[in-house]
């Protein structure tokens, strides 16, 4: 059960998803089960659950990555994107579920920072990472 490391992660369904059978694009939910690259279950606060391929389920990048990107590239960003990214970094620093939810909502509202602060989940990658740490 190596994929348990992703269970409980707050995630965002890709906002520009074209074929969304669950009609949850741009919605924030909790990853309940990361089964494979093609089947990852997300439960939504307003009820319901849907499954998506890993590239369509986005999570926040590590706050250190966000900070480094902000430090190195902040001066060349539009001001609104810089502010949004800075707020996301501060919310990540809090680490509470409410703050992480707010950070995902902020990323959803600012398409210019999505590539900088979001990454798709990859159960295989996380699985390999957890194996490496357990040795």
The CATH number of residue 13's host domain is: 2.30.30
Task: Say if residue 34 is in the same domain as residue 74.
Answer: no
- The residues with which 59 forms a beta bridge, in sequence order, are 119
CB atoms within 10 A of CB 25: 17
pLDDT digits (tens, 9 = 90+) for 35-85: 888 889 999 998 889 988 999 999 999 999 999 999 999 999 999 999 999
- Asked if 19 contacts 7 with a C-beta cutoff of 8 angstroms, the reply is no
Q: Which helix (H) or strand (E) holds 19?
A: none
The domain tally of the chain equals 2
Task: Say if residue 50 is in the same domain as residue 67.
Answer: no
Distance in angstroms (rounded) separating the CA atoms of residues 89 and 100: 10
pTM recorded for the entire structure: 0.82
Task: Say if residue 25 is in the same domain as residue 70.
Answer: no
**If you average pLDDT over every residue of the chain, what do you get?**
85
Give the per-residue pLDDT at 21: 66
Sheet of 118-120, strands arranged across = 49-52, 40-43, 28-34, 10-13, 57-60, 118-120
Q: Is residue 127 part of a domain?
A: no
Task: Say if residue 67 is in the same domain as residue 104.
Answer: yes
Residue 81: which domain range?
60-119
Task: Say if residue 38 is in the same domain as residue 88.
Answer: no
Of 32, 57, 82, which closes a domain?
57
Angle formed at CA 102 by CA 100 and CA 103, multiple of 5 degrees: 60
Q: Is residue 135 part of a domain?
A: no
Task: Say if residue 98 is in the same domain as residue 87.
Answer: yes
């Amino acid at each position: 059960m190596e994929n348990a490391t992703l269970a409980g992660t707050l995630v965002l369904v890709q906002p520009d998803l074209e074929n969304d059978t669950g009609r949850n694009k741009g919605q924030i939910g909790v990853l309940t089960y990361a089964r494979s690259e093609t089947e990852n279950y997300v439960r939504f606060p307003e009820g319901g659950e849907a499954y998506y391929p890993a590239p369509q389920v986005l999570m926040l990048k590590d706050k250190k990555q966000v900070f480094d990107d902000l430090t190195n590239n902040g001066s060349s960003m539009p001001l609104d994107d810089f502010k949004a990214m800075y707020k996301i970094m501060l919310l990540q620093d809090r680490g509470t579920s409410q703050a992480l939810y707010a950070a995902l909502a902020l990323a959803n509202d600012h398409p210019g920072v999505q590539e900088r602060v979001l990454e798709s989940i990859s159960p295989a990658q996380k699985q390999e990472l957890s194996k490496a740490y357990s040795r």
